[in-house]
Chain A
Amino acid sequence: MKKTKFVLAVILAMMTMFSLVACQLQPTPQPHVCESVCEICHRCTNADCKEDECKVKCAGHEPMYAVVISVPEDWQNPNLWAWSDPDGKGAFASWPGEPFTKMNDKYYCYVPGFVNTIIVNANQGTDAAIQTDGITIEREKNVLVTIAEDKSATVVDLPDTEVVPLYVEKFVVHANVPISWETVQMWAWSHPDGKGAFSTWPGETMVAETKDGEPTGWYTGKVPTWINRLIINGNEATDAEKTADMVIGEPKEMWITVAKDLTYEISYSDPDKAVENITVYAKIPASWTSPACWAWSHPDGTNAFGSWPGEALTQDGEWYTLSVPGWINSIIINGQVGGETLQTVDISVEAGKDLWIVLSQEVGSDGKYTATVTYEAPAE
């Protein structure tokens, strides 16, 4: 009996050991390392590769050309404004254009192949702001532009001795941060490989945006499109002055609002952009005259117009139309019949969409007309 127990124990111990060894021998899955990485966007260029890590493919890139500049010593933080002449197609969204990147004693910037005219400007936001006249360059060529003290420019093909870092596709990040943050930085990297966009913490300093010389509260910077993690931080980047790791889904222009409690919201449209107007189309009973529209935001009661009965509608064929603020979500159409004011019930509508409102022909028991609302022109 004792012997049997001993044998059983030995067998059990052996089985346990065997299981442990077997587990050790199981190969740990290794992350796939892409061998077809695009130098510009760092995405996979191999259409046949089905690995998870290579799911997002490079879509190809428009060729970009280097503009290298040499400027007088007192030209600080130079920017490039570039376009195609004579059609006026611009390379960058807004003046003063794209900031140059320092490269030894010169600066460089990339432009699309259609660019044939540039302006170099510097010292923006200071009393010493300066710029050249339009400088003609050859399309689809890397060039070296030397600016003299008198702002005149000499353009030559970029010599082979000037080695410019490869073009990296980037997107713009705007950040609105707590008011106590006097400097704003961003730190970005690619997860899970940990490759960083900037060399040292706390990362790249973002530039304050201004409008009519006043700070807008937004700071701007650019990050490579291959990053998928971001931290916005301020001042000394202590724990109380930085966000948590943000996961970046789509690498495209974004607006990040960081609240004082360090929560953040990411938007792919400018949250400060004014809401556009919408058009109200109304079809009213034939007997009505002087139709007008009264509109407001429920439940806060913000009115679109100063006083009842609101703004007059303008006849356009069988529809009466009016442009109203896009934030309204409640509306009344009213009009006159024989000196008496008639109106619809309060109509709830979705904000921000054009409206087609068809009034009932008969008045309801409450003395008001009902209405059908659609967000596309109804079929005739």
Chain B
Amino acid sequence: MKKTIISLLIVTLIATIFCGAVGCNPTGNTDPSSLVIWHDKEEAVITPLQDYVKKALPNITVTFERKSSLTDSLKLVGNDPNSAPDMFIFAHDKIGVFAEMNILTPVTDIIGEDFKSEYLPMTLSAVTYKEKLYQLPLYFETLLFMYNSKYMLENEVPETTDELLEYMKNNTGRGRYGFVEQHSTAYYSAGWIHAFGGCIIDDSGTPFPNGQAVKDALNYHTQFVNLMPGESEYNTVNTLFLNGKADATIGGPWMVPSARDAGIKLGIAPMPTVTGTRKSLAPYSGVQGIHVLKFAAENKAQTVKDFLNVLTASEVGIRLAMASGCAPAKTDCYDDERIKKDEMVQIMRQTAEIAVPMPNIPEMDVMWTVVDSLLIDVNLKKKNIDASFDTALEKANSLIDAMK
């Protein structure tokens, strides 16, 4: 008897600890009239969504829950219906990881294929993994060439990278910079690598499939790095541009409202073309949208379907663009009179033609740190490019092998 009681106590204790660790939801997650959606977005993005959904689906309670470590939490509880959300809003680059974990349902299984013709091809290609569409795209982000037109005059905006370099040489010094960017961060350097015909990883998971292009990009880019501050993390670059100490930068749309608030006379221009390759700097794009977890797709099929269908309305993209400067994933949003006037959103639409969606395969997870290390070796530690590249490639291969 004593043994039984002790065993029961142990089982209870383990269950309690487990529930505590994963944030057990005692009410369960099977009520078809309610949906829980995790996200990591700011209120400027979520509020318009929330307002639209409330009106369109008055009989469904949709709770948007902000999670700071969303992907880590999903890795822990994604296949636990008691703890996982029904859906989540996130960038497309983790699709491969979650699809391999078998916690996602392709959205086309729920709402069919018809909606696809109305979306920008780049957004659809970004959210496709192993030929299945795992996200309903809402909007995308990509980097933009921004300048302070009080300092970089209209006739000085560079069309080529050689012109940019010349501008930097003539306008850097005395506490000012002609151009700044996060030069030693993989996300930012990708644009340069793509313009040389290289890439960080291909669809089959091969790192640096065109090594020479990566080395050429690094070598050419060094001249620019030498004219920028050594410290290149987000806060430094942001502060220099917003304080009017840097004439131009490559940054995300999230910088635009701050720049306008800071009194910067902001200009946005197409990405310069690399003189040697005649290809534009082609930054990564991140497509943000709704992912559906398997349990919800199976147990709340109609509610999830209704919800996704509501979010395919063009008005959703228009409202998001107006509230937070997002670039909608739906093509016809750009024809709306309200959006036509937004220079930044329209330039992002143009950039969508050249932007490269971040790879969504699981192997990309390890490449961010590999490329960051390579950039630090070359740009900051001034190590030999060939040797640094060989080290990075070796590390990438070993990490990818370890994943298998």
Contact = CB atoms under 8 A, between A and B. Distances in A.
Contacts of B257: 299-300
A365 to B, nearest CB: 8
A346 B65 contact: no
B171 interface: yes
A328 to B, nearest CB: 12
A340 B23 contact: yes
A301 B237 CA distance: 13
B174 A367 contact: no
A340 B20 contact: yes
Contacts of B239: 302
A217 B175 CA distance: 6
B238 to A, nearest CB: 5
A302 B234 contact: yes
Interface string A177-193: 01110000000000000
B150 A259 contact: yes
- Size bracket, chain A contacts: 20 to 34
A338 B20 contact: yes
Q: Chain A at the B interface: mostly helix, strand, loop or mixed?
A: loop
A299 B42 contact: yes
A217 B234 CA distance: 23
Nearest to B64: A366
A261 B44 contact: no
- Determine chain B's interface SS by DSSP, over half rule: mixed
B254 A299 contact: yes
B82 interface: no
A299 B68 contact: no
Contacts of A346: 42-43
Interface string A215-240: 11110000000000000000000000
B170 A179 contact: yes
Contacts, number: 71
A261 B243 contact: no
B243 A217 contact: no
A299 B150 contact: no
A217 B23 CA distance: 54
B254 A300 contact: yes
Contacts of A261: 149-151, 153
B173 interface: yes
A297 B243 CA distance: 14
Contacts of A4: none
Interface in B127-160: 149-153
A171 interface: no
B324 interface: yes
B258 A339 contact: no
A299 B44 contact: yes
A271 interface: yes
A294 B66 CA distance: 14
Contacts of B173: 179, 215
Given A300-B242, A308-B69, A260 B151 contact: yes
A125 B382 CA distance: 32
B170 to A, nearest CB: 7
Interface in A332-347: 338-340, 346
A358 B89 CA distance: 31
Interface string B341-375: 00000000000000000000000000000000000
Contacts of B43: 346
B82 to A, nearest CB: 15
B42 A257 contact: no
Given A301-B254, A302-B239, 6 more contacts: A259-B244, A272-B175, A294-B68, A298-B42, A300-B238, A366-B63
Interface of A: 176, 178-180, 215-218, 257, 259-261, 263, 271-272, 294, 297-303, 308-309, 338-340, 346, 366-367
18 contacts: A178-B151, A179-B174, A216-B174, A218-B175, A259-B244, A260-B153, A272-B243, A298-B42, A299-B42, A299-B44, A300-B254, A301-B254, A302-B234, A308-B69, A309-B68, A339-B20, A346-B42, A366-B65
Interface of B: 20-21, 23, 42-44, 63-65, 68-69, 149-153, 170-176, 234-235, 238-239, 242-244, 254-255, 257-258, 324
